[in-house]
Amino acid sequence: MSELQIATALRIPPRALSRSTVVTSNRGASTHALPTSDRGTSPGKPPALSAIICSHNPRPDYFRQCLGALKDQTFPRDGWELVVVDNRSDEPVAARVDLSWHPAPRIIREEKLGLTPARLCGIRESRGEMLVFVDDDNVLDPNFLEIALGVAEQKHFLGAWSGQCRPEFEEPPPPWTRRYWGNLVVREFDNDVWSNLPRLSDTMPCGAGLCVRREVALHYLSLYESGKRSFQFDRTGDSLLSGGDNDLAGCACDIGLGVGLIASLKLTHLIPPERLTEDYLARLSEGIHYSGALLDYFRGSIPRKPSFGRKILFWTRLLSLKSQHARIARAVERGNSRARKTIAARNAEI
């Protein structure tokens, strides 16, 4: 971030920022919701927010914790709706969950497999002015929805944001995996930060607990319904593509709003041991870099083919890495190479 101008401030709308400016706040923990007395849903009035869970074959014990955390939210239940999108699970989600604690829950079956179709379904079916996407292995802090809505009310210039994601490992993780925890959506930080740069990793929200304004979600939906987006950047079945959450959040910048990270917004990410294996992390790294390069392309940046010198440096570096890290480094390069081939094929068809 050395080439970026860093400013400490609380309210500078992204529309007023230059294209190379990031705004940070050292008062991240001070974000609180406004009084809730007027936030209840009256007849015919859209709810303040929609909590949307997109799920495919959820692990039962994780899903119970996810729903239990939503049940324990401090934000009054009559002020938010609960939408569960069952993305073609082998055993229908409706048959194994009890949502009677919520005044108006809905479970919708989406037969087209993939996180992208599930999210699009959630956007169509929800009514909230703000949408909060919750993964089925996320355990929200009790005040998560309260704080999320407070951000929407206080930071009108933000269109998409998320918070901290603490890991809860089912088994102690191998020490060598720590450098890849970010790929597992582990994110901890001290300060709020935001920008109007849709592909800047320092301010990009993550999919776990992603909060977006309805106007942002509708813009994302329109990209797919108009045919401007034909590629699914998210996971489908066993694939480990990633990037749909970045594309959805980036739509905030498309319509003149910003993206950001909020330190007081917190959840726990439940991580099973099979996601800490060398094989899984290699496949995940390949998927992230493949879909990331394609997302850059769709957002106007064409990835360059590495020069001969860079190739020599890459293979030289591999010789100094331990076997696990070397395998993952090769997976990253494979993902980038696949993306370049996909882009070249697409350009040839145009």
pLDDT digits (tens, 9 = 90+) for 174-190: 999 999 999 999 999 99
The whole-number pLDDT of residue 41 equals: 53
pTM to 2 decimals? Answer: 0.86
| Domains of the chain by residue range | 5-273, 280-349
The whole-number pLDDT of residue 23 equals: 53
pLDDT score of 143 more than 50: yes
pLDDT score of 9 more than 60: no
Among the listed residues 106, 66, 111, the one whose alpha carbon sits nearest the alpha carbon of residue 87: 111
**Amino acid code (one letter) for 186:** V
Average pLDDT over residues 132-143: 98
Q: Print burial letters for 107-118: b (CB count within 10 Å at least 16), e (below 16).
A: bbebeebbbbbb
What does pLDDT average to over the chain? Answer: 87
The whole-number pLDDT of residue 232 equals: 78
The whole-number pLDDT of residue 43 equals: 57
Average pLDDT over residues 216-242: 87
The whole-number pLDDT of residue 26 equals: 44
Q: Which two tokens stand for residue 248?
A: 């959805």
> Which residues are CB-contacts of 78 (< 8 A; sequence separation ≥ 6)?
40, 41, 103
- CA dist., res. 251 & res. 265, Å (int): 21
Specify the fold of 5-273: Spore Coat Polysaccharide Biosynthesis Protein SpsA; Chain A (3.90.550)
Average pLDDT over residues 115-126: 96
pLDDT digits (tens, 9 = 90+) for 48-65: 999 999 999 999 999 999
- CA dist., res. 220 & res. 222, Å (int): 5
Residues in a beta bridge with 5: 21
Q: How far is CA 203 from CA 1, 12, 206, in A?
A: 11, 15, 10
Average pLDDT over residues 140-152: 98
Highest mean pLDDT among 132-146, 231-245, 288-302: 132-146
pLDDT digits (tens, 9 = 90+) for 209-222: 999 999 999 999 99
What is the β-pairing status of strands 80-86 and 105-109?
Answer: parallel
pLDDT digits (tens, 9 = 90+) for 11-25: 344 444 433 345 544
Average pLDDT over residues 127-145: 98
Residue showing tokens 């014990």? 61
Q: What are phi and psi of 270, to 5 degrees?
A: -80, 125
